[in-house]
Structure 1
Amino acid sequence: MLFTRAFMWTILAVSYAALLAALLHTLFGNWSGAASLGMLFAIVIGAPSLAGYAGYLWRKNLLVGSVRWEAALSAAFPVLVLLLAAVAIVGRRLQWL
């Protein structure tokens, strides 16, 4: 379980960093190639991996103690990606961003 956690926490950190970079680039209007590559990683690898990991923790009844927060962070990531996409789309249409 320690190897799995080390692997998944790396994916979690990189995915959230890419999401933060994309949010900042969206708000300030200067989108870069690094943000695009980060979001490519976050959408293609991060979201499915983290959703699957949260499901694994739930199925194996491992949601005790601090693992609840780990599962919550993992499960929230795909939702946050969709929210960022929705804000970007609506903001562009309404000329907010």
Structure 2
Amino acid sequence: MVNKAKWIMLIAALSLVAAGCGPKKATKETLSQIEECKTAYEEAKVKKSDLEKELANLKAQLDEKQQTVETLKAERDSLNDWLTNVLEKGY
């Protein structure tokens, strides 16, 4: 009798586990959330691409401005040397 009760309890437990582990259908709410996540992901990819383009543009502008600064520094140094030379000659 004890063995029979153990078998019945074992079968009942396995039935509950099997019922809980079976395939489940996604609810409409879950599907809606998945769609929202996909949409947000796609929007984030587009925004990332836009920001990467903007970053590249800003880096190019920075490089251009740094080159301008170097050119102006060289011009300043040249003019400073010229002025020093003129003042030393007493003009």
TM-score (norm 2): 0.31
Report which structure shows greater RCO (CA 8 Å, sep ≥6): 1
Compare the two structures and name the one with the higher helix fraction.
2
TM-score, reference length from structure 1: 0.30
Determine which structure has more spread, i.e. the larger CA radius of gyration.
2
